[in-house]
Amino acid sequence: MKRLIRIGAELLKDLFTKCHPDESGGVLDKSVSSKQVSIWGTFVGNDDKSVTWKAVSKQIKKSQNWEGTLCIRGSGGEKIWLSADIQPIHGDHFLLLGFDVSNRVRAERQLRQKDQELNIITKATSLFFLNISLNGRIQFINKTLKHLDAKDVIGKTVYEFFPAKEHKEIKATIKRVSQSGRPSYFEAESIGEGNNPAWYGTHVYPNGIDDHGNKQMLLIAKDITHKVEVDKELEKQERMSKEYQSQFLSTQINPHFIFNAMNAIQVYILDRQTEPALEYVSEFSSLIRNVLENSSKLKITIAEEVEFLIKYLELEKKRFDKRFEYNVIIEPGLDMDAAVIPPMVLQPHVENAVVHGIGKLRGRDDGLITISFNGVKDRLICKIQDNGVGREYALSFTTLNRGKAHRSMGEKITKTRLRLLTETSGAKHDIKVVDLKDANGNAKGTSVELTFPLLSI
């Protein structure tokens, strides 16, 4: 009988035979050869060790059928799984009908193994895998945060785990992936372990359709809180670096007018004008104190800037023997004590107006410099205008281009500062220079317009 079953299983792969049960109670185990208690025990086995031949035999004796999967071994020792149906015939005889399901069993085992491996990997990884519907409802998640259970997540929408401010971007990303069929990515703030704020970087992939024909999405999320914090710190350090660069550049502007002021003092001393020299030194000292104070700040009020510019212009009027006047115009309604601007940005252009504009007017004492401050919506516009000789004539007039180098360096430093201020604040800082002409096209001065965000202390 043993030979008959082996041959039938090997050659036909389907078994149809009559057998006599063994009542010794041998375990129908997948490792059959380890316990040879009977003829059946040498070639019949079962993955479920709780199933014994004794139990099957009892069912047969009660005239009850038995259905299940049996594992038999071929002559080469290979396993063959049969979907078996054992039916009592009469007495202690029965009919065994078996169909080969080896391929199915092996495939199921491989699938279970892959599922187990995937489950181990996904639970061990720091990544979160979510399968969601197109409306964001979570259908599967590989793991949850420690303070949550799977039942707290499955069936809810992904939006319930992100604040409202993040919903628009998440919805747009899912819609984009659904329409294009291409993966996308978003970063959003949510809640992490211990209910602490956390950032997640999430890749979104199309993931086929469900049984009802609805599109599905696969979300792979990773906690990127540390990365975001590092990026913020780097951004902060970069911003501080640029602010320090801007402050440093403001101190580089100072030597231009300091040098000229020292020359003026020297002239007074050489002419033995002691009282004017002392007065000039006192005003110059006050101006230098303002420079040192203002250069250490990121912002100063318009009132502080006007005070500084007036001190500077008064010194220059003395040096140029009062050959020019100046006006400072503040738009009504603009709070001078609240509105702020970067320090030492206007002074180089006021100096250019004095030295290269008004200072080149020969035989004239009607020079005029006008400085105005106006608020336009969220912008502060500062304009410096003179009625001097104009930039073109001033550049050609200066011998050996010394003045050109002086002027262009001041403008270059200002432009660099404005660029750094734009990068650190995210708000546009701009400058526009216009050569003024009369009706005949002749130069009649220069206008410099600097634009800043309108900010208050």
**pLDDT (tens digit per residue) in 85-134:** 777 766 666 676 777 778 888 888 887 776 666 665 555 567 888 899 99
264 in the same domain as 329:
yes
Handedness of CA 238, 244, 250, 251 (dihedral sign): negative
Tell me the C-alpha distance between 254 and 246, whole Å.
13
CATH of the domain at 129: 3.30.450.20
301 in the same domain as 430:
yes
Alpha helices of 271-301 — where are they, by DSSP H? 274-295
List of residues 6+ apart from 200 with CB closer than 8 A: 128, 187, 188, 189, 190, 221, 222, 223, 224
330 in the same domain as 304:
yes
Instruction: Label residues 354-382 b or e (16+ Cβ within 10 Å = b).
Output: bbbbbbbbeeeeebbbbbebbbeeeebbb
Amino acid in position 214: N
- At 5, is the pLDDT very low, low, confident or very high (cuts 50, 70, 90)? very low
Q: What is the pLDDT of residue 287?
A: 87
Average pLDDT over residues 315-328: 91
In a domain, 108, yes or no: no
Contact 309, 372 (CB under 8 A): no
Number of domains, the chain: 3
DSSP collapsed to 3 states, 94-146 = EEEEEEECHHHHHHHHHHHHHHHHHHHHHHHCCCEEEEEECCCEEEEECCCCC
Q: What is the pLDDT of residue 28?
A: 36
DSSP string of 377-428, one letter each residue: TTEEEEEEEE-SS-HHHHHHHSGGGHHHHHHHHHHHHHHHHHHHHHHHHSS-
For residues 248 and 318, the model is more confident at: 318
Model's pTM, two decimal places? 0.52
Helix (H) or strand (E) holding 448: strand 443-453
Tell me the C-alpha distance between 105 and 98, whole Å.
14
Going from the C-alpha of 38 to that of each of 8, 54, 68, the distances in angstroms are 20, 12, 20
173 in the same domain as 24:
no
Of the candidates 156, 86, 456, 416, which has an alpha carbon nearest to the alpha carbon of residue 302? 456
In a domain, 69, yes or no: yes
301 in the same domain as 373:
yes
In a domain, 118, yes or no: no
Tell me the C-alpha distance between 31 and 44, whole Å.
9
In a domain, 112, yes or no: no
In a domain, 345, yes or no: yes
Question: Taking the mean position of all CA atoms in its chain, how far away is CA 272?
Answer: 67
Tell me the C-alpha distance between 113 and 189, whole Å.
36
Name the one residue in this structure whose structure tokens are 């071929």: 74
- At 41, is the pLDDT very low, low, confident or very high (cuts 50, 70, 90)? very low
Tell me which residue range forms the domain holding 193.
Answer: 125-223
300 in the same domain as 203:
no
Helix (H) or strand (E) holding 175: helix 164-180
Q: Which of 101-105, 347-351, 412-416 has the highest mean pLDDT?
A: 347-351
Q: What is the pLDDT of residue 124?
A: 52
Of the candidates 141, 137, 136, 174, which has an alpha carbon nearest to the alpha carbon of residue 155? 137
Domain final residue pick, 179, 208, 223: 223
Token couple for 334: 């603009």
Q: What is the pLDDT of residue 58?
A: 65
- At 410, is the pLDDT very low, low, confident or very high (cuts 50, 70, 90)? low
Residues 131-177 have pLDDT tens digits of 999 999 998 888 877 677 788 889 999 999 999 999 999 999 999 99
Is the model's pLDDT at 204 over the cut of 50? yes
267 in the same domain as 386:
yes
145 in the same domain as 92:
no
389 in the same domain as 321:
yes
In a domain, 450, yes or no: yes
Tell me the C-alpha distance between 315 and 321, whole Å.
10
